[in-house]
A and B are shown apart, each in its own frame.
Chain A
Amino acid sequence: MSRVPFYLKERLDEIRQRVLYETYEAQKLPKWEQVVLTWIALFSFWIVISGNARIENLFIGGIATLVISLFMYEMLTEDIRQTGHIVEKILYIGLFVIPQYLFIMAFRLIESNFKVAKHAILMDINPGIIKIKTDLHSNTGITILANSITLTPGTLTLDVDKKLGETYLYVHWIDVETLNREVAGEKIKGDIEAWLKKIFW
């Protein structure tokens, strides 16, 4: 992007903003669903953090988190894709998607620990920085994908770049096997991206 002239760069930024804004507006949740999802997340966090389960504590926490979620409903849930009814969505996220993600990531983390131990003992490293492409656009989704890539075996996210509505990740790979972008993305991302596409756009 740095070699493009200035007027062309401004025009390209404008087109990118318009495309992203339209896809974002088409997939946004209604307001009360955002408030309810934010309230559920904040209230469960309040119960665990405050640490006693008496009735007046729950009452005060419920009122306070409801007021906070009425003001701040856009921060947590603006990236969630619109699919289905809200009860169905809460049950689907809480019972299927999050346990699936925890299960995947726990085994990938154990595997990456053993892989780092193997590399530290044998020193068979062959490092390189690879650029891969991802299909996600929302900020929360890209953040979770980059953090998951850092915890999976052999890879570490260096930087994220958004150009013309497409998102690229620069990944430091400790044992480079291929330079092809598709094959490398398939090996690095695995099934994390297919999982993230169920919730985020």
Chain B
Amino acid sequence: MIEYLLLLLGESIMIFGTLGILRFPDVYTRLHAATKCDTGGAMNILIALAIASEASLLIKLKFLVLAFLIALINPMVSHAIARGAYKYGIKPKVVVDMYAWDNP
């Protein structure tokens, strides 16, 4: 029962993340939607699969290792994309930009 709830939660999180990517104005706010919703949705779906599948315990543990690796790698990739976009010269649409104050 609880695995269907987790699957539904993960898929709705993924749908709202896609909506956020389509509607937000620039790179940095789109990265918010991409990073958080991908991490949360993929982890929810993997935990639901680990509960629902009829495999042995060690294979279920491998699903949890995959969820851990996703939670480890996804924020690093988003940081690399955001910093690379800033160094490339894409200006963010913001009200205050303290990074441009300190790196003229």
A-B contact pairs, 8 of them (CB 8 A): A109-B39, A110-B40, A116-B32, A125-B24, A128-B94, A130-B96, A158-B28, A158-B79
Chain B CB within 8 A of A150 CB: yes
Chain A CB within 8 A of B7 CB: no
Interface residues of B (CB under 8 A from A): 13, 16-17, 19-20, 23-25, 28-29, 31-33, 35-37, 39-41, 43, 58-59, 61-62, 65, 71-72, 75-76, 78-79, 82-83, 86, 92-100, 102-104
Residue in contact with A120 in the complex, picked from B16, B82, B98, CB distance below 8 Å: B16
- In contact, B33 and A126 (Cβ under 8 angstroms): no
Residue in contact with A51 in the complex, picked from B23, B36, B41, B62, CB distance below 8 Å: B62
- In contact, A117 and B16 (Cβ under 8 angstroms): yes
A156-B58 in contact given A116-B17, A127-B94, A129-B98 (Cβ < 8 Å)? no
A112-B40 in contact given A120-B16, A128-B95, A129-B98 (Cβ < 8 Å)? yes
Residue in contact with B36 in the complex, picked from A47, A112, A159, A176, CB distance below 8 Å: A112
- In contact, B93 and A127 (Cβ under 8 angstroms): yes
Complex CA distance for A132 and B82, rounded to whole angstroms: 18
The secondary structure that dominates the A interface is mixed
- In contact, B36 and A170 (Cβ under 8 angstroms): no
Chain A, 144-165, contact with B by CB distance < 8 Å: what is the 0/1 string? 0011001101101111010000
A73 CB, min distance to chain B CBs, angstroms: 21
Residue of B nearest to A126 (CB): B95
A152 CB, min distance to chain B CBs, angstroms: 9
**In the complex, chain B residues whose CB is within 8 Å of the CB of A123:** 23
A107 CB, min distance to chain B CBs, angstroms: 11
A116-B79 in contact given A129-B94, A131-B99 (Cβ < 8 Å)? no
A49 CB, min distance to chain B CBs, angstroms: 7
A120-B92 in contact given A130-B98, A150-B78 (Cβ < 8 Å)? no
Residue in contact with B79 in the complex, picked from A49, A53, A126, A146, CB distance below 8 Å: A146
- In contact, B76 and A147 (Cβ under 8 angstroms): yes
**In the complex, chain B residues whose CB is within 8 Å of the CB of A153:** 36
A128-B20 in contact given A112-B36, A113-B36 (Cβ < 8 Å)? no
**In the complex, chain A residues whose CB is within 8 Å of the CB of B24:** 119-120, 125
Complex CA distance for A153 and B40, rounded to whole angstroms: 12
- In contact, B36 and A120 (Cβ under 8 angstroms): no
Complex CA distance for A52 and B95, rounded to whole angstroms: 55
**In the complex, chain B residues whose CB is within 8 Å of the CB of A174:** 29, 32
Residue of A nearest to B73 (CB): A147
- In contact, A129 and B23 (Cβ under 8 angstroms): no
Residue in contact with B13 in the complex, picked from A113, A129, A150, A176, CB distance below 8 Å: A113
**In the complex, chain B residues whose CB is within 8 Å of the CB of A121:** 16, 19
Chain B CB within 8 A of A172 CB: yes
